[in-house]
Chains A and B, each alone.
Chain A
Amino acid sequence: MIAPTAGNAVLVGLLIVVWAVGWGLFVGRAWQLYRYLRLGRDEDRTQRPLRRIRDELVIYLGQRKLLKRPYYVRGLAHALIFWGFLIITIGTVDLFLSGVFGFRIPGTGTAPFVWTVDLFAIAVLLSIALAVVRRLFFPPPRMHVALDGYLILAGIAFLMLTLLLFETAGLVAGVAAQGFTAPPLATLITRLWPSPFPGESSAVVYGAAWWGHLVGVAAFAAYLPQSKHLHIVTTLPNVFFRSQRPRGALDLITKIEERETFGAGSVRDLSWKQLLDGYTCTECGRCSDQCPALATGKPLDPQKIVLDVRDQLLHEGHRLVRDGADRGTPPARYGPTKTEELWACTTCAACVEACPVTIEHIDKIVDMRRWLAMMEGDVPPEAQRSLTNIERAGNPWGQPPDTRADWAKDLGVPTFAEKPDAEWLYFVGCAASFDRRNQKVARAVVEVLRAADVSFAILGTEETCNGDPARRIGNEYLWQTQAQQNIETLRKYGVTKVIASCPHCFNTIANEYPQLGGSYEVVHAVQLVDRLVREGKLRMRDGATESVAYHDPCYLGRHNKVYDAPRDVLGAMPGVTTVEIAPHHRERGFCCGAGGGRMWMEEKVGQRVNHRRMDQILAVDAATPVTKVASGCPFCLIMLDEAVGAKAVQERIKPIDVMELVQARLIARS
């Protein structure tokens, strides 16, 4: 198409001015936002560059995290809009260039390109229509449906319509350039409707639509930084710089002895990436949808946590940039309900899993908790008691540390002191050591390991709490102290391989101890059993025919992606039918409520999370009766035990650990 500005220097000048203004406003505001971003703490996000590139291609370009149930169709609509935006942007740039320089980008006149543009334009329009209808008539409960959203949708629709309009008018007015393929949609329209425009107005319509499109883009650009639609720009770096740490690992506070402040006392203490997350939130509400705390009536909404960071930064940014000494408000105190929101989190990572633009909610929550815990000493008192117990007795229950190995007394389990050449360390954990119900699981683990001739030993009374509750509650100092103690003990015995029956022990030893120099091969007991079964070293005999529901522990499943091993172990048990607690299973598993240090806190608001989980299990049970619900975590076990009691189904459905099921079906060694 010949540009309406061809040969007209004034019009060319006007076009340049319009774009300069529009994009100038964009750059101006974007620059300000960038300066605010730079207020944040430094953080190195350059590790694993190849993985970052891969994530960019898969998540940003491939829209992978959008195309997930139960949002598949909506995700597809968005993907189409996004891909459409990418393609059509080439066309827009081409338009501008042709308008200013009379220059076309090579290939933009070819059939494949022109067809792609038109098809995507249709797809985008349809998706927009879908989006508008949904927002107007069936708004999803947790999505902010604000004017901003409608403006953006209207803007995109406008751009698509002007595109189609100038293509059609251009075709009718005969301004197609030589050798360039006619746009198919325009061709189709003119075939069905030869004179869509009155009289000789097609040229005028062409010009108007052409200008409308380009001015629209400039206006869009100017508006962009005031809108959540900025995510189209910020998602690019946000995905690239996402955390490449294992999901279950929180970041390390280095040189803790030399610091004066800990945690987020100001938006300046949040890292630039955490602030970028604030800009990138599209307010889609998928995180809110998946959050077990919000679902059960707690004040926590992960989306609000993220948006509050953004709002606080925008609110305080100008002042903070101007006055370097101004620290602003601690994010943990931004808003009257903030602390209740923060303590309600179980760190289950359902929000992180759900977020299409790789926002890291948990890191922010923990950074704010760190401020409350280490600077203000403002932690829920019951949780504080557990931390003090860990500090003084090495376990959150405050049980006498010299009784830690009593569960193993009559089993003759060797300690590393007695058997220094053992291959594996079985890190028992506080729950299995002291909680009577979970001591049975520890015994089951021992029996299973023996049946498979695994060489192992325990630390006995030299074992101390791995520190996970402390780290999640925000007392990083206590976690480092505990971790260093354990790492020292493991170093003393030359331990290289660790088995854990608790996902919290597993997660922190495998993913977080390396931060302090303790690197080992770490497996969860069910992973080892899975391996042993495959290698033929462990066999299970026929047992009762039973239906067992499997509950994914968050720190085994979502945090460490161990979904299949426990299922394979269950599958290897003759007679056992594994029942999925669909749709709340695997990546969408619903938390038992004990993570994030919440095992040690009172739950005073709304329905108890474990009771909601039980409701879900009972719903599945109504269709496929189960006699047991199996998990691989001592906290899940305690929570489910409480829940079956509360729902008065304890006679019918027994919470059990996978290891206990294995134990019951062991084929005795000859």
Chain B
Amino acid sequence: MKVWAIVERSASGPRRVSLEIAAKAKELGDATAIEVTGLERYSSLPAVGPLATKAKADAPDLILVGATPTGRDLGARLAARLGWAYASEATDLAVEDGAATITRTMYAGKVRATVRATLPAVVSVRPGAFTLKSGAAEPVVESVTADASAEKLAFQRFEPSAAASGRIPLAEARVVVSGGRGLRGPENWKQVEELAGILGAALGASRAVTDAGWRPNEEQVGQTGRTVTPDLYIALGISGAIQHLAGMTSSKVIVAVNKDPEADIFKVADYGVVGDLFEFLPAFTEEVKKAKAAA
């Protein structure tokens, strides 16, 4: 069984999800890690062409790609070019009898589905679906040169977003750390920002604190603010009013910290801590720091 893992690079090296799928590919069979070089920034036509040519030649049974925006773009177009089956955002994957059994969500995350795709197939894999074993060796990555002649678009420029300044946008964040009135005042947000920084998380806020002017409106999570679907949502000092819940109950895992044991947030939390936020938060931040360092 031949498996390809398409590698995406960031400034600091292969993306974590690429390493995860490369490791998974090795598990599944004869694995090749492959990347497209020669492109200053991703564009589908120059990348898909050479990959398709090589795929026709080498005939892998399964091509894995990380479900990043680039990966999903590349994976779908490649599957269409090759005429292969395509499944996106797999959270689990197994192969048997010439078919891939893929676990993924459907209906905007409301349903968990197990689907079967006859091989050959292209599958984009959710980051974090396959945990990387610590100490795993970095794979040898073959490269394929992009075909600039296939390009039909012209890159003009990059426009940084006004609110950017290193802040992670809520919309696609995988982790969100959200603060509510329990934090008592805007001056206490430094701890929230610290935790978010360590977790690589976006900052969220309840309506109460954005109304009070403690946090900007862009951070509001809730019915009149943003709806988020992260893997991890940490609600600090948020009571869990229905309008707020409407914005975050689709999160995969919800952690809530509140001193009121009756707070509604605990009814949707997977893990709840009842206690003094100001005692818990520093301790938790410390523990998370330790865990991340060891990862």
Chain A–chain B contact at Cβ < 8 A: yes
Chain A residues within CB distance 8 Å of chain B: 382, 385, 397-399, 434-436, 602-603, 608, 642, 645-646
User: By the criterion CB–CB under 8 Å, are A398 and B212 in contact?
Assistant: no
Q: List 9 A-B contacts (CB under 8 A).
A: A382-B224, A385-B223, A397-B243, A398-B223, A399-B242, A399-B246, A435-B242, A603-B211, A646-B208
Separation of A435 and B267 alpha carbons in the complex (Å): 13
User: By the criterion CB–CB under 8 Å, are A397 and B242 in contact?
Assistant: yes
User: By the criterion CB–CB under 8 Å, are A397 and B181 in contact?
Assistant: no
Q: Interface extent on B, as a size class?
A: 10 to 19
User: By the criterion CB–CB under 8 Å, are B181 and A645 in contact?
Assistant: yes
The smallest C-beta distance from A407 to any residue of chain B, in angstroms, reads: 12
A385 and B208 contact, Cβ closer than 8 Å, known pairs A434-B242, A645-B181: no
Separation of A178 and B144 alpha carbons in the complex (Å): 125
The smallest C-beta distance from B178 to any residue of chain A, in angstroms, reads: 17
Chain B residue numbers with a CB within 8 Å of A385 are 223-224
Chain B residues within CB distance 8 Å of chain A: 181, 208, 211-212, 223-224, 242-243, 246, 264, 267
Chain A residue numbers with a CB within 8 Å of B223 are 382, 385, 397-398
Interface centre among B181, B242, B243 (most CB of A within 10 A): B242
Given A436-B264, A436-B267, A646-B212; 18 other pairs, CB 8 A cutoff = A382-B224, A385-B223, A385-B224, A397-B223, A397-B242, A397-B243, A398-B223, A398-B246, A399-B242, A434-B242, A435-B242, A436-B242, A602-B224, A608-B211, A642-B208, A645-B181, A645-B208, A646-B208
Return the 3 tightest CB-CB contacts between A and B, nearest first: A382-B224, A436-B264, A435-B242
The smallest C-beta distance from B277 to any residue of chain A, in angstroms, reads: 16
The smallest C-beta distance from B125 to any residue of chain A, in angstroms, reads: 31
Separation of A382 and B246 alpha carbons in the complex (Å): 13
Chain B residue numbers with a CB within 8 Å of A398 are 223, 246
Separation of A397 and B223 alpha carbons in the complex (Å): 8
Separation of A160 and B212 alpha carbons in the complex (Å): 57
The smallest C-beta distance from A440 to any residue of chain B, in angstroms, reads: 11
The smallest C-beta distance from B237 to any residue of chain A, in angstroms, reads: 12
Chain A residue numbers with a CB within 8 Å of B211 are 603, 608
Separation of A382 and B212 alpha carbons in the complex (Å): 18
CB-nearest residue of chain B to A386: B223
Separation of A608 and B267 alpha carbons in the complex (Å): 29
The smallest C-beta distance from B127 to any residue of chain A, in angstroms, reads: 29
Separation of A20 and B243 alpha carbons in the complex (Å): 68
Separation of A435 and B246 alpha carbons in the complex (Å): 11
Separation of A434 and B246 alpha carbons in the complex (Å): 12
Chain A residue numbers with a CB within 8 Å of B242 are 397, 399, 434-436
Chain B residue numbers with a CB within 8 Å of A434 are 242
Separation of A434 and B245 alpha carbons in the complex (Å): 12
The smallest C-beta distance from B13 to any residue of chain A, in angstroms, reads: 42
Chain A residue numbers with a CB within 8 Å of B264 are 436
Chain A residue numbers with a CB within 8 Å of B246 are 397-399
The smallest C-beta distance from B156 to any residue of chain A, in angstroms, reads: 31
CB-nearest residue of chain A to B220: A602
Chain A residue numbers with a CB within 8 Å of B224 are 382, 385, 602
Chain B residue numbers with a CB within 8 Å of A382 are 223-224
Chain A residue numbers with a CB within 8 Å of B181 are 645
The smallest C-beta distance from A73 to any residue of chain B, in angstroms, reads: 41
Separation of A397 and B242 alpha carbons in the complex (Å): 8
The smallest C-beta distance from B294 to any residue of chain A, in angstroms, reads: 40
The smallest C-beta distance from B114 to any residue of chain A, in angstroms, reads: 24
The smallest C-beta distance from B141 to any residue of chain A, in angstroms, reads: 46
Chain B residue numbers with a CB within 8 Å of A645 are 181, 208
Separation of A602 and B208 alpha carbons in the complex (Å): 12
Separation of A385 and B242 alpha carbons in the complex (Å): 15
CB-nearest residue of chain B to A436: B264
Separation of A585 and B223 alpha carbons in the complex (Å): 33
Separation of A646 and B242 alpha carbons in the complex (Å): 18
Chain A residue numbers with a CB within 8 Å of B212 are 646
Separation of A645 and B223 alpha carbons in the complex (Å): 20
Separation of A398 and B224 alpha carbons in the complex (Å): 12
The smallest C-beta distance from A443 to any residue of chain B, in angstroms, reads: 15
The smallest C-beta distance from A469 to any residue of chain B, in angstroms, reads: 14
Separation of A397 and B222 alpha carbons in the complex (Å): 11
CB-nearest residue of chain B to A397: B242
Chain B residue numbers with a CB within 8 Å of A399 are 242, 246
CB-nearest residue of chain B to A645: B181
Chain B residue numbers with a CB within 8 Å of A608 are 211
Separation of A267 and B137 alpha carbons in the complex (Å): 77
Separation of A602 and B264 alpha carbons in the complex (Å): 23
The smallest C-beta distance from B246 to any residue of chain A, in angstroms, reads: 7
The smallest C-beta distance from A647 to any residue of chain B, in angstroms, reads: 12
Chain B residue numbers with a CB within 8 Å of A602 are 224
Separation of A663 and B224 alpha carbons in the complex (Å): 34
CB-nearest residue of chain A to B267: A436
Interface centre among A399, A436, A646 (most CB of B within 10 A): A436
CB-nearest residue of chain A to B184: A648
Chain A residue numbers with a CB within 8 Å of B267 are 436
The smallest C-beta distance from A379 to any residue of chain B, in angstroms, reads: 13
The smallest C-beta distance from A344 to any residue of chain B, in angstroms, reads: 16
CB-nearest residue of chain B to A603: B211
Separation of A646 and B208 alpha carbons in the complex (Å): 8
CB-nearest residue of chain B to A398: B246
CB-nearest residue of chain A to B212: A646
Chain A residue numbers with a CB within 8 Å of B208 are 642, 645-646
Separation of A608 and B208 alpha carbons in the complex (Å): 12
CB-nearest residue of chain B to A438: B242
Separation of A89 and B181 alpha carbons in the complex (Å): 66
Chain B residue numbers with a CB within 8 Å of A603 are 211
Separation of A642 and B181 alpha carbons in the complex (Å): 11
The smallest C-beta distance from A656 to any residue of chain B, in angstroms, reads: 15
The smallest C-beta distance from B217 to any residue of chain A, in angstroms, reads: 9
Separation of A382 and B208 alpha carbons in the complex (Å): 16
The smallest C-beta distance from B268 to any residue of chain A, in angstroms, reads: 11
Chain B residue numbers with a CB within 8 Å of A646 are 208, 212
The smallest C-beta distance from B247 to any residue of chain A, in angstroms, reads: 11
Separation of A399 and B267 alpha carbons in the complex (Å): 16
The smallest C-beta distance from B216 to any residue of chain A, in angstroms, reads: 13
CB-nearest residue of chain B to A642: B208
Separation of A398 and B249 alpha carbons in the complex (Å): 13
The smallest C-beta distance from A525 to any residue of chain B, in angstroms, reads: 22
CB-nearest residue of chain A to B262: A436
The smallest C-beta distance from A394 to any residue of chain B, in angstroms, reads: 15
Separation of A399 and B242 alpha carbons in the complex (Å): 9
Separation of A397 and B243 alpha carbons in the complex (Å): 7
Chain B residue numbers with a CB within 8 Å of A436 are 242, 264, 267
Separation of A385 and B227 alpha carbons in the complex (Å): 13
The smallest C-beta distance from B260 to any residue of chain A, in angstroms, reads: 10
The smallest C-beta distance from A601 to any residue of chain B, in angstroms, reads: 9
The smallest C-beta distance from B15 to any residue of chain A, in angstroms, reads: 36
The smallest C-beta distance from A255 to any residue of chain B, in angstroms, reads: 35
The smallest C-beta distance from A263 to any residue of chain B, in angstroms, reads: 25
The smallest C-beta distance from A439 to any residue of chain B, in angstroms, reads: 10
